[in-house]
Structure 1
Amino acid sequence: MYKTHKWVRCPDLNRKNIEPALAKYLKDFGNQVETLVKAAGKSLPRHKTRQWTARFTHKGVPDAPNIRKPDILLGADANLTWGNTLGHGELKSSNSGDCRRTAYLQLLNGAYLIFSHQDNRRFVISFAFLGKQLQLYIFDRAGVVVTAPIDIHKRPEDFVRVFTALMIFLSDVIRGRGTVCWHVRHDNRSFVIKDTWVDESRPHAEAEILSRAKDVEGVIKVHAHTVVDINGVNGTHWLRSNLPSNFTTALKRIECRIHTRLVLHPFGDPVSTFTSRKELISVLIDVVQALQDLWQDANILHRDISMNNLLLVDPNDLLLGSSAEGGTFNPHRSNEPEPAGSRQRTLALRKGLLIDLDYALVLDDKGERGKTVAKAHRTGTLPFMATQVLKQGPSLAQHQPHHDLESLFYVLIWICVHYVSPDNAERQNFDVRDTDLRLWISGESYEAIGATKLATIEDETWWPQKVLFWFAPYFEPLKPCINEWRQLVLDPNKLTHENVLGYGVFHESPKRKPRIGPNQELDLSPPRPELGVAQVEECKVPAAAHDRRALDIPHLRLRPSKIPRPVVKSAPSK
């Protein structure tokens, strides 16, 4: 296998188009290792035989949304997809800077696809051959650890360790939370299990925040929560704790993430499933009221208002939610059909529900902020972030209540632009990148995006031309509401919960006459059908490489010519 300071029969790694030859060599290498292990009387882990393949080099993996074409994949199934891929490799003919960067970006994308298709994946091991130099990458929810280049002919022991481990390593399982949600049923009631990786440096975990907000109407309730421990490992610290001491300074800048699960209630529908303009406005009123109660009664600022963090729920489910907290819970996946009539739709307007308080700020009893800094501190989701928060740049933005109200304003604009009618009807052949609003989601920096966004809102000519112009016709009746809300956004001193809830935005006069009357639009949308919810529904949230929440939004792309900084605000603890 190894003679005269080189690996025998290993293809020339400085040549191009050797993917099939290298895949065959690694396969033969694995078979020889297996033979040697068995000859030594040792046992191997009991799992399917793993094989390297290069068959996707030119045609791409079929289940990938962007049809990625990885050089080499490792798997144990004949029908290999990103859903069962175990390892990923890329080949470059040299160790130049351009080759290293290209390989890294390709492996990063591959890790993202693996995390996206494998709910419980805790880490991804990838490698790049840069000529005869081997570089190993380990991606997890706190980021990536990269080894120094290894000359496989000069350091054969390292080559054996890496590829033997990849072939036989057994584990039952990208930077960021990597949130995955499952819809489950227990005692004929719907719950959500939220699986996420929590930044340990944050002063308050979401379960603690939700417990503090348990009496606030319109906020999701926590039923139970736990830390996920697999073979004694519950976070990302285990990998980095074994690094040499000279990495200590760098490690202090990297957050440790703990694997947690929460059982939440009630189960809701996306805000885009509104059935009428009336229901949409009603839901926004509910959310503003919930934000006000969170702030005034529980000393909590949400700080991440976005499309994904607003749900619609049946009013009866909210009542059930108040009794859900604190009980014993053993979630299970059942194949029994849902009882007939257990979740019938009604003509009543659904209520707005605020979720995802991972990034919420909790003030103390005196209203002081206290320790709010986390190593991976974030302050929102790009298209919906307040302009003042964006323009803060690298400094730590002092989030205020009016920032959440401004974010909600952008959520309404986003709905009016992206949808043509109720019931999640997205615009066809439409891409926000072809509109003036593209400048809200791409730019040289987040400061530049914030400045452009503010200019668009402020300018009396740009506002109708660059924003209102793109509204779908269905939302024309909401333009007066949005114009009034805009006036409040332009004056943060007036952008209060009371003013948004008052006559200026949702009502036409101080007598609180609704902008949409009680009978208006009731006949425009048919009654919602019976809710045909499967016993177990899986709702995947993409795990971005560094948790850039921009990936949560359809059509969103950042300018490829310059990789932007993540939406991260950090500052020394005071």
Structure 2
Amino acid sequence: MMSTSTSGILPTVSSSSAFPTCRLQPCMDNLLQNDLVGNVLWEETDLPATTSSLMDHIIPKSSIRRPVIENITYATGVLIFVDHKWQLDKHQNKQMLKQKQKQAPDDTDSDTEELGTDCEGSSVSGQEGSSASAAPDASDQGWDSQEYDPNQPNRKPTPKQTPEQKWVCLFNTVYTAMRMTYRAMFPHHSPMYPFEPADHKRPHQQWSPEFCNAPIPDVTNIQKPDVVLLDRDVQPKSWAHVLTCIEITESDLGTNHDIPLFKGVITKGYLMMREQPWRRFIMLFSLAANHLRAHYMDHSGLIITRPILITANPMRLVDMLNTMSLGNNKSHGMDPTIHMCNKSCKQTQCEVGDQAIGWIEDKEKQKLLIIAILWRSQGLFSHGTICYHVWDKDGVEYALKDCWVDEAKKDHEEKVLEMVRGIPNVVTLIATWDVEYEGEPDSTLRIHNRHRKFSPEFRCKYHQRMLLTPCGEPLSTFSTKRELISAFRDLVVTHKAMTERKVLHRDLSPNNLIIYKGCGFFIDFDHAQIIVQCNISVRAWGTISSSSKGTSPYMSICLLRYLHSASKLTDKDLVMMGQTASDDLESLFYIFVEFVTTYDGLHGKIIYPKTEQWADLLEDIGSRAVSYKSGLLLVKRDEELMNCTMAYFGQLKYLVQEWHLKFLQAVEESCESGIHHKDIEEGPREMDIS
């Protein structure tokens, strides 16, 4: 489909094996609601009217004028735009075409002559590579939605078109007409097509209404986008294949920002970013009461552009359709330094071999083969972290971490990894670099800085990559119980060595631990901090949200209590929080508990799934997590954790209780530093584990 720059970024290879598990709709709604606070900028209300719109940057204005649009017709001969109105019914007002032709002067606009009044009909019926979607899609229509013609009783009823199908018919009619002159000019820029041209002469995209009544398949969320732009060669279709969406409503988004369309666009953008985490940004559109808006999302926030009335300015709707369907995939936010294969690759010279699913550029701009997606983060405005299993040209395997880092912490993880270099069971940094876009380090400031005004919580994010070794597997892929216990012991010993080098991880969860050749390894030092000389803890000033580091289901009771008491403060209040090695060790304990109370066998096997897993339960109960964990950990004779241990791990329930009692002892003795590494690192060795 494309050449080796932005080509084929929509993979058919499933990445559903990448963890963590995708959030279900209630959790997703919460996540999005929290992400939106302070991260949304509305151009029409938050910016002066004289400020240029982001729409004009991403969708450049063309030389197309109204007469060109007024001379485009459906295959039926009906004009698509008449008397300042978009004609959505291709079977009405056929006489208007004849009247228009009689009144038309002989010296028509040159662009009009190129397109011709019947260009859409000839293109659909005879032009090579034309889009079949210029005709309405009736795949979701039943007999109850079809019209009966009393003049032709024996003829099958004519299917009724939904509003979404009518808009799609119009969009694809514009696409077919515009593509004719686009192909003649390709690959050169022109005033009619000012966007960067695609890597191919015949684009494979099509506008489709196929999901307006039937949701796009997804186990976590039911969403029915009105209109989607898809690669028509890829089957089956999912959120991994959606290039953009257009949501349509008669309601006015300008007078009411809380209409369902707004939340719907956000949710669809999240699902696209979740399934296509290699995109630099997501661009969606809404047509609310004939007002066109772009909804731009990246890892620093959301911008809703100033509305354009498409009846008064039809050229801008056509500009948008042309840029999205005919332009380079950079317009969709695709990263030209990465390529994810799809079926269209068979039509290009993309040679990644049978084992690879794509390629990604390294520091020297050489291609590393992507073998698998290991992990991807969740959340709309986050670090956008995705980890790949990659091979270099010699077949040496690495883990590659691709992320968007806060400007203030741009070099932080690199510094920490240098401090722990050489410690066994800690990943080793091979190389780190800024990802470049158009010759400059890529950052979210490239777009947001055009307004010179930001959303309240805006934070600039820089696009970085790290090449690391070894490339392990999730800790849950343990092959024996002994291997799992040995891996946890490795982690305790290694954690002690890291603290001796004055590094505290501060964000332990199953996602930040791997297993490699039977050994446990620490990864992901984004939130690690350096312990000041002569101290036993790290302390940091900041707001509540910035000071609290860790994944809540695995945070220590002490930190959860702190967060609960601090929750009465506003997020603008400066607070100080201290964390010790004991907090990290308690997190390791909770991870161990989750494993032995969840898995029924090797490699993370679950035969009898529980209604709620450890992480889900702790997230759901929110502030009550303090009392819940205290009841499990700080009651001397309580054996609930032992009783919850799965039968497969029956031998380990006494180890769980032993670890539990160690924490209780540290609390009873009011030990300031909490539990020590030596208190737990020897225990697993003494057990007979088969």
User: In the superposition, relative to structure 1, how do residues 450 and 160 fare at CA in structure 2: closer, same or farther (>3 Å)?
Assistant: farther
Q: Counterpart of 1:412 in structure 2: which amino acid?
A: F
Q: 1:262: how far off?
A: 0.9
Does the Cα contact within 8 Å between 2:493 and 2:677 map onto a contact in 1?
A: no
Q: Counterpart of 2:654 in structure 1: which amino acid?
A: P
Q: Give the equivalent residue in structure 2 for 1:516.
A: 687
Whole-angstrom distance in 1 between the partners of 2:306 and 2:631: 46
Q: 1:363: how far off?
A: 3.6
Q: 1:238: how far off?
A: 0.7
**TM-score of the aligned structures, taking structure 1 as reference length:** 0.71
Whole-angstrom distance in 1 between the partners of 2:239 and 2:175: 22
User: In the superposition, relative to structure 1, how do residues 41 and 165 fare at CA in structure 2: closer, same or farther (>3 Å)?
Assistant: closer
Whole-angstrom distance in 2 between the partners of 1:209 and 1:255: 22
Whole-angstrom distance in 1 between the partners of 2:503 and 2:223: 42
Q: Give the equivalent residue in structure 1 for 2:279.
A: 121
Q: Counterpart of 2:651 in structure 1: which amino acid?
A: P
Kindly tell me the number of residue pairs found equivalent between the two proteins: 464
Establish whether residue 87 from structure 1 lines up as the match of residue 244 from structure 2.
yes
Does the Cα contact within 8 Å between 1:288 and 1:497 map onto a contact in 2?
A: no
**Structure 1 alignment gaps of length 5 or more:** 315-349, 508-512, 522-574
Does the Cα contact within 8 Å between 1:5 and 1:153 map onto a contact in 2?
A: no
> Which range is displaced more, 28-37 or 392-401?
28-37
What does residue range 552-563 of structure 1 map to in structure 2 within 5 Å? Answer: none
| Counterpart among 268, 280, 286 of residue 490 in structure 2 | 286
Establish whether residue 308 from structure 1 lines up as the match of residue 511 from structure 2.
yes
What does residue range 354-373 of structure 1 map to in structure 2 within 5 Å? Answer: 354-365=522-533
| Counterpart among 69, 72, 79 of residue 224 in structure 2 | 69
Establish whether residue 28 from structure 1 lines up as the match of residue 173 from structure 2.
yes
Whole-angstrom distance in 1 between the partners of 2:458 and 2:207: 33
| Counterpart among 629, 634, 641 of residue 458 in structure 1 | 634
Does the Cα contact within 8 Å between 2:538 and 2:579 map onto a contact in 1?
A: no
Bigger radius of gyration among the two:
2
| Counterpart among 163, 170, 175 of residue 18 in structure 1 | 163
What does residue range 30-179 of structure 1 map to in structure 2 within 5 Å? Answer: 30-34=175-179, 44-47=197-200, 48-62=203-217, 66=221, 68-79=223-234, 80-95=237-252, 100=258, 102-154=260-312, 156=314, 158-170=316-328, 171=330, 172-173=334-335, 174-179=380-385
User: In the superposition, relative to structure 1, how do residues 450 and 143 fare at CA in structure 2: closer, same or farther (>3 Å)?
Assistant: farther
Whole-angstrom distance in 2 between the partners of 1:17 and 1:98: 25
**Structure 2 alignment gaps of length 5 or more:** 1-68, 71-80, 91-160, 336-379
Q: 1:34: how far off?
A: 4.5
Q: Give the equivalent residue in structure 1 for 2:660.
A: 486
User: In the superposition, relative to structure 1, how do residues 352 and 71 fare at CA in structure 2: closer, same or farther (>3 Å)?
Assistant: same
User: In the superposition, relative to structure 1, how do residues 116 and 377 fare at CA in structure 2: closer, same or farther (>3 Å)?
Assistant: farther
> Which range is displaced more, 413-422 or 155-164?
155-164
Whole-angstrom distance in 2 between the partners of 1:94 and 1:498: 59
Q: Give the equivalent residue in structure 2 for 1:239.
A: 447
Does the Cα contact within 8 Å between 2:540 and 2:577 map onto a contact in 1?
A: no
Establish whether residue 442 from structure 1 lines up as the match of residue 620 from structure 2.
yes
Cα root mean square deviation, aligned: 3.5
Q: Highest relative contact order (Cα 8 Å, sep 6+), 1 or 2?
A: 1
Q: Counterpart of 1:384 in structure 2: which amino acid?
A: Y
Q: Percent identity?
A: 22
Whole-angstrom distance in 2 between the partners of 1:455 and 1:102: 42
Whole-angstrom distance in 1 between the partners of 2:220 and 2:503: 38
Q: Deviations over 1:104-137 (max 9, x none)?
A: 3333332233233335211110122333333321
User: In the superposition, relative to structure 1, how do residues 271 and 88 fare at CA in structure 2: closer, same or farther (>3 Å)?
Assistant: same
Q: Give the equivalent residue in structure 1 for 2:120.
A: none
Q: 1:212: how far off?
A: 1.5
Does the Cα contact within 8 Å between 1:289 and 1:497 map onto a contact in 2?
A: no
Whole-angstrom distance in 1 between the partners of 2:541 and 2:396: 36
Q: 1:364: how far off?
A: 4.7
Q: 1:302: how far off?
A: 0.6
Q: Give the equivalent residue in structure 1 for 2:460.
A: 256
Whole-angstrom distance in 1 between the partners of 2:277 and 2:687: 42
Q: Counterpart of 1:28 in structure 2: which amino acid?
A: T
Whole-angstrom distance in 1 between the partners of 2:519 and 2:399: 18
User: In the superposition, relative to structure 1, how do residues 31 and 371 fare at CA in structure 2: closer, same or farther (>3 Å)?
Assistant: farther
**TM-score of the aligned structures, taking structure 2 as reference length:** 0.60
Q: Give the equivalent residue in structure 1 for 2:590.
A: 410
